[in-house]
Amino acid sequence: KAGVTQTPRYLIKTRGQQVTLSCSPISGHRSVSWYQQTPGQGLQFLFEYFSETQRNKGNFPGRFSGRQFSNSRSEMNVSTLELGDSALYLCASSRGQPNTGELFFGEGSRLTVL
């Protein structure tokens, strides 16, 4: 069974630009969650999608957005990038129902903002 796939793995952007990250969940998983990981803040929850609907949202500004498609694939977008957005962005999938909290993570997309 293929794991969670995130693309791109690495990317470099400059302040003010926008970025789109993609996540393909494990086959059969209908829930996708996104986390931001930085050395100082640890793993911070961004949002969770289930069956194309946002089920939960973390405390991030509106520059951070996401969506889920009918095939459960998900994208997140960050607009007007700031230096502080440099981080590892992790996507995780789960079956979704029941919501057991058991997440399967991808390897992440490492974003550097210059």
**Residues contributing to the site for other proteins (CB under 8 A):** 4, 33, 35, 42-43, 45, 48, 55-56, 58-59, 90, 92, 99-108
Closer of 16 and 28 to other proteins (Cβ): 28
In whole angstroms, how close is the CB of 6 to other proteins at the nearest point? 8
Closer of 23 and 78 to other proteins (Cβ): 23
Best CA proximity match to 32, nearest among 87, 96, 88: 96
Closer of 17 and 104 to other proteins (Cβ): 104
Extract the tokens encoding 64: 């951070």
Specify whether the CB–CB gap between 32 and 26 falls below 8 A. Answer: no
DSSP track, 15-53 = TT--EEEEEEPPTT--EEEEEEEETTTEEEEEEEEETTE
In whole angstroms, how close is the CB of 44 to other proteins at the nearest point? 8
In whole angstroms, how close is the CB of 16 to other proteins at the nearest point? 29
In whole angstroms, how close is the CB of 56 to other proteins at the nearest point? 4
Specify whether the CB–CB gap between 104 and 28 falls below 8 A. Answer: no
